[in-house]
Amino acid sequence: MASPRKFFVGGNWKMNGDKAAIDGIISFMKTGPLSPNTEVVVGCPQCYLMYTREHMPANIGIAAQNCYKVAKGAFTGEISPAMVKDCGCEWVILGHSERRNVFGEPDQLISEKVGHALEAGLKVIPCIGEKLEDREGNRTQEVVFAQMKALLPNISDWSRVVLAYEPVWAIGTGKTASPEQAQEVHADLRQWLRDNVNAEVAESTRIIYGGSVSAGNCQELAKKGDIDGFLVGGAALKPDFVQIINARG
């Protein structure tokens, strides 16, 4: 049975690219062809938000890769949701494993950021996921459920949330959760939403997978009933990204 949820593919460029490289990405995105059945968003460095929005086709959303939890103030180096919107962009990626594990952002701060971004009118891709020692210690559920519990009080509008499950051990390592492993966690997360929010949110919220997604493995992952798309890192910088966008046809 076809999922009622629209397939969603996000590209996270991370700290990569310059205008010339972005022009190259825009070129292969325009050439496509991109499936009309997939919603596509790319997350670019904040200094290129306006450039990317101005040059990327209008049907592709542009996301900031981070933002702060208040509208303005003495927070050197930060960017607010209002600034993201002023650049013409509608999305933000929050709580990515690199923000958590490289920059030390705790669950509570990520939750506050998500709350403020939603209040300010952005659509949000909150990221959750376990480290290798958690996976090997059979603590995957414990970790991702704790991250979800922290997010919950600040999510005011689930219709503007796309949840990204990214096992930290599979990001940029070449290791990918098997389609079965990914589906299992996605199904657990959907059940968690059913138990802790409501059945409607559980059915309608898109849960996407991130972690070494490639043109080679995307179709198998896309066949799983609770995997509603992908958040792609390195592959989003290459023409292969088009195949990933079209993984479900």
186 given a catalytic annotation:
no
Cβ-based neighbours of 48, under 8 Å, separated by 6 or more: 17, 19, 22
Rg value, the chain, Cα: 17
Question: Residue 206: beta bridge partners?
Answer: 162
3-state SS class at 20: helix
Catalytic option among 98, 112, 130, 166: 166
Among residues 126, 110, 155, 119, the alpha carbon closest in space to that of 43 is found at 126
Interatomic CA distance for residues 46 and 77, integer angstroms: 11
Distance between terminal CA atoms of the chain? 15
Say whether the peptide bond before residue 167 is cis (omega within 30 degrees of 0): no
Is the distance from CB of 69 to CB of 116 less than 8 angstroms? Answer: yes
Q: Given 96, 112, 116, 130, which residue is catalytic?
A: 96
3-class SS of residue 24: helix
- What DSSP letter does each residue of 33-50 carry, written as one string? PPPTTEEEEEE--GGGHH
Catalytic annotation, residues: 96, 166
